[in-house]
Amino acid sequence: MSADADQRTVEFFGLSFNAIDENMAVRQIRHLEQKSGYFYVVTPNVDHIVQLDKSTDDSLIEAYQGADLIICDSRILSFLAQRSGFRLDAVPGSDLTRELLRTGKKGWRLAMIGGDPLLHEQLQTLYPDYEWVFHEPPMGLRRNPDARISIAEFIEEEKADMVLFAVGAPQSEITCREIALRGKATGVALCIGASLEFLTGAKRRAPHWMQRTGLEWLYRLCNEPSRLWRRYLVEGPKIFAIWWRWKKLK
């Protein structure tokens, strides 16, 4: 983890989370943006922690541990942290992305990895003051090293101020780590999941009261049951057993 990241970190589920709120997260990312080199930000949620717990792939945990900022993207994780005796604010990736785009400077060069032509067009319409470049990798990115190399070469060539990875976890995090190890890229990369789809209205976010009470997962499940039922009804509940085991070993 970068020495320039906020020093208030907490060890949780084997990761050194930056214990920061949304405003501090924006400031930290802006700080990284002003530096030379390449940095990347991960935003773990319940699904990510469950994947990490069952994975035997060292490159996966290294992808998260090697990030320059690790920001909690889950009110459930925040609640479990509180039950563990410390504070870890939830900073939803969609909120963080919206704030970064709202406060960016004119002429900012942004690269997006993922999405489709319609989403790209919507982003250019919503944020016309920025210079956008797009790269659409194929499906199955995690098992396609050549496609990940193409992403790395694209980012190295485009020299964007910020890179928005919208290809899902854990391929976003793994690719970011591989780019960092190449040592040729610049800018700040964010693993943001479906955040841009929420910003453009392609997907609807839960009402604020559901967000505040940690029920956003239920809203998403009701809207995309065929895609999300396993994540939220089978895999997600495992977080409580993982937390109990982590707490006993602490």
CB 93 within 8 A of CB 171: no
Whole-angstrom Cα distance, residue 209 to residue 56?
38
- Domain residue limits at 45: 9-202
Q: How many domains does the chain have?
A: 1
Q: What pLDDT digit, counting tens, does each position of 137-161 carry?
A: 999 999 999 999 999 999 999 999 9
Does residue 229 fall inside a structural domain?
A: no
Does residue 213 fall inside a structural domain?
A: no
Does residue 4 fall inside a structural domain?
A: no
Does residue 72 fall inside a structural domain?
A: yes
The CA distances from residue 222 to 198, 199, 203, 228, 229, in Å, are 16, 19, 13, 9, 9
DSSP SS3 for 55? coil
Does residue 122 fall inside a structural domain?
A: yes
Q: What pLDDT digit, counting tens, does each position of 71-89 carry?
A: 999 999 999 999 999 999 9
Does residue 93 fall inside a structural domain?
A: yes
Q: What pLDDT digit, counting tens, does each position of 1-20 carry?
A: 444 444 689 999 999 999 99
Global confidence as pTM: 0.91
Q: What pLDDT digit, counting tens, does each position of 90-114 carry?
A: 999 999 999 999 999 899 999 999 9
CB 127 within 8 A of CB 161: no
